[in-house]
Chains A and B, each alone.
Chain A
Amino acid sequence: MQPPVLVFEDQEFNFESGASVAAVLLINGVCEFRTTQVGGVARGPYCMMGACFDCLVEIDGVPNRQACMTPARDGMRVKRQDHRTFLMDLGG
């Protein structure tokens, strides 16, 4: 039985069942989870308890998922969330 694997960007991380996505990333040395909309700066988890919303990542194509509140599952595909692409360009 293969240990479960989470795919982050182009890397594969093994993990123990029950770990949150945030925990898996942190344990594997990842602490930049996203970039912000206004300043385009990097952010990572802060509270690890679902209150700060700083640990947002894209999970299996769905954006704005709280990594610390989502249990890691085998085969999950996680990507950094880049908010710069979300800035609206208001034209005339």
Chain B
Amino acid sequence: MTIVESDMVIIGGGVVGLSIAYGLLKKGLRVVCIDGSDIDLRASRGNFGLVWVQGKGVNCPPYASWTLKSAKAYRAFVDQLMEESGLEIDLQQNGGYEYFLDHDALMERSDQLSSLKDVLGDYPYETLTGDEIRQEESMVGPLVAGATFFPHDGHVNPLQLLKALLIACQKMGLDYRANRTVTTADYVSDHSRIYCDTSECFVSERVVLSAGLGAKKLGPIFGFKGYVRPQRGQVLVTEKFPPLLRRPSVTIRQVNEGAIQIGDSKEEVGYDDHETLSVVARIAERAVKIMPSLASARLVRTWGALRVMSPDGLPIYEHSTTYPNAVLVTCHSGISLAANHGSIFSDWILGADFGSDFKEFGEARFATASVSV
């Protein structure tokens, strides 16, 4: 049995786990990160790279506000990360759109955003007519009824972000151990002891569980409900093009290397991350409706990935009530929230009180009745 000692063990080395590690390492903590294998389900590898505020938290203003905060801090966060890791991270953050083919749906969304603005004040969204959006984006076709716009939205290369986080963390002394599976844990003599399938025992004062879908199985070990479920999204990737899209949208964006990525779907199919023709074909059809000249774009790859979804779609931030100093962190917007997770969030992990708004993200909200996972 090898004993590995630290101040903090983070279970899960995706963008959430590594962002959190980054913030904690900056505070001088000794951090160990336990990560899974090459073929484990990893939402960090299968996401759309959006730094996105609009449309989030329409029923939960604190979530909208938390996301906006991260978006505003994003540029500085990425700049610092680039400097520390020595790696390029492509971030474009000069606004994003959501396109609507149906006028009523556009109005409904516009109303939702307007309500958020009423509550938050600082929520600078805009609604554009079909003609206005066509002026902005030459690829948008005549079937589009309009779009909503949010100036702080954008996109980042999520793979570069992940790699940069890992490099920066390792430079700060992160002990990163992959290919491990946590089997059990206990808390003895003021210390957490986490056991793995490699006969290592990770001893620390504190634990963060940020293992995505792994929270379902591992959560109960630390006294969490771990109400997460997989929700599949499928994405299409085209060949590379010259710059065609000025800004990203929720379902169509052009990545820095030139390929156009097109999503998405929201499917409840369990742990199946296969791509399916029927869904992919409908995504293609919708994309061509929005941008007719995409009809001749060739698809190079499609993939499916599993979002980490809580019952209400909001993050779960919870301090365990039974296992001391253990925190559960799970969300489906690990990219957008990275700036927060990598900075101010450390305070909350270490025990700071972020107020009643933040309690909305706790597991207590699942105490009542029908929670479907």
Contact = CB atoms under 8 A, between A and B. Distances in A.
Direct contact of A and B (CB under 8 A): yes
Interface of A: 37, 62, 64, 83, 85-92
A64 B239 contact: yes
Contacts of A83: 240
Nearest to B298: A64
B258 A88 contact: yes
A86 B240 CA distance: 7
Given A86-B240, A89-B243, 4 more contacts: A37-B258, A87-B258, A91-B92, A92-B92
A90 B256 contact: yes
A83 B256 CA distance: 14
Nearest to B297: A64
Nearest to A65: B298
Task: Sort chain B's interface into a size bin.
Answer: 10 to 19
A72 B215 CA distance: 57
Q: Is the interface of A mostly helix, strand, loop or mixed?
A: loop
B183 interface: no
Given A37-B258, A62-B296, A90 B90 contact: yes
Nearest to B243: A88
Interface in B84-102: 90-94
A80 to B, nearest CB: 15
Contacts of B296: 62
Interface string B59-100: 000000000000000000000000000000011111000000
Interface in B231-278: 239-243, 254, 256-258
A90 B298 contact: no
Interface string B112-129: 000000000000000000
A86 B92 contact: no
Contact of A85 (B242, B254, B257, B298): B242
A87 B242 CA distance: 6
B242 A86 contact: yes
Contacts of A87: 258
B272 to A, nearest CB: 29
A58 to B, nearest CB: 13
A62 B241 CA distance: 12
A50 B258 CA distance: 22
A89 B256 CA distance: 8
